[in-house]
Structures are given as C-alpha cells and as structure tokens.
Amino acid sequence: MAMHNELWFPSVIWSAIINNVDNIALKKYAYERQKEDEGRKISNAGGWQSNDIPAGACPEVDNLVKTLNNELVEICNQTALNPVQIYNIWININPPGSFNLAHHHMGAMFSGVYYVDADPQQGNIIFERGDNAEYHVRPHNIQKVNYYNSQSCTYAAKTGALYIFPSWLKHHVQANRANKDRISISFNYGEPFQV
C-alpha cells in the first residue's frame, strides 16, 4: 500500500530576483531619507529603520510598489485569498555589526524584503519554524535535514533579491559582517481597508 501525502499548513516563501528597479536611485534615496528621518526602533539592533514611506515620496519606491502589487496578485491567486493592499513600506540601513532581532509582522497577511544593496557577508535572513516541532522531532532522529524536519531556513542577502512570506513567519537577520551598509526595503500587505 502506498500512502498519499498532503501538505497542510505549509509555510511558503516566495523569492525572485527583480531587475526592473533602479537600485542606485533607491540607495541614494535611502541615504537622503536617513538624514531627514530620525527613524524608529522595531527589530533593528544598531541599524536604522525609516518611518513609513508615503506614496509619491520617491518615484523609484513607487515603481517597486507597482512590482510588489503585481507579485501579490499572483500570490493571492496561488493561495486562493482575496486581493490584498500595501499597508506600509520602509527602508532599513544596517551598518557593520548591526542585525535584526527575531520578530513577525502582526496585523499583516504578507510581508517581505527587497535588497537594494547587499551580499551574504552582510547578514542573511533566517526564517524560523513556529509549530513547536522541536519538542517532537529531535536532532538525533533526523537522518538528513530537509523541508519537513528543519527548524529554520536561510535566504541570502543579495542585491535585487525579493522575498515575500506569511507575516506570521518569525524571522531575524544575521549581523552585518562586511565593512559596508546593507540596504533593504521591507513591506507589509493585508486586507483592504474598509471605507
């Protein structure tokens, strides 16, 4: 007898390399914004996070949002969910030694990060399993780490990389071990606001 398997409650992470965004213009805007925006402290340790960027503040951010909107339409189709809208978008500048603590994005359905200027030595993003499997699947029982038994997964920080994930998926970013800033843009999407 062959058992049929079904994937229930999967944690999906969508990834792509985006090449229709001007990263040089985004990097310039990030540093200009940092000069005028004192930023906020949420998950960043040693880095800077801007306050939310309003639509129309930067043409290249608006261009990125247009790309994100198209991707989120496809993601909603794949997951059989109603359309979502952007809630907020912000810049992260992580200088050498800085990192982001483990967190999730409460109140949103999908969250993500786009890397404006980054490479793996500057700290990768790590997603953590959140279903308490570590109490049941112990390391000595694992023959080979795979998608089913892993406790975490790592995605590389690299310029042009886009990662979108369920907002409830806990994640953190490793310390920047290079001698230059890691620059990324993070965002949240969720149900359209009722008017």
84: left (phi over 0), alpha (psi -120 to 50) or beta: beta
- Of 148, 160, 151, 106, the C-alpha closest to 126 is 151
Domain boundaries defined on the chain = 14-124+156-190
CATH number of the structural domain 14-124+156-190: 2.60.120.620
Distance of CA 110 to the CA centre of its chain: 9
Q: Could you report the per-residue pLDDT of 165-195, keeping only the tens digit for each?
A: 999 999 999 999 999 999 999 999 999 976 5
Identify the bridge partners of residue 126 per DSSP, sorted by sequence position.
Answer: 154, 172
- CA-to-CA distance for 175 and 123, rounded, in angstroms? 5
Q: What is the pLDDT of residue 155?
A: 97
Name the stretches of the chain with pLDDT < 70. Answer: 194-195
Q: What is the pLDDT of residue 9?
A: 86
The residue to which tokens 């109490």 are assigned: 135
Q: What is the pLDDT of residue 61?
A: 98
Torsion of CA 118, 43, 92, 56, to 10 degrees: 140
Structure tokens at 5: 């398997």
The residue to which tokens 């930023």 are assigned: 39
Q: Are strands 161-166 and 85-94 parallel, antiparallel or unpaired?
A: unpaired
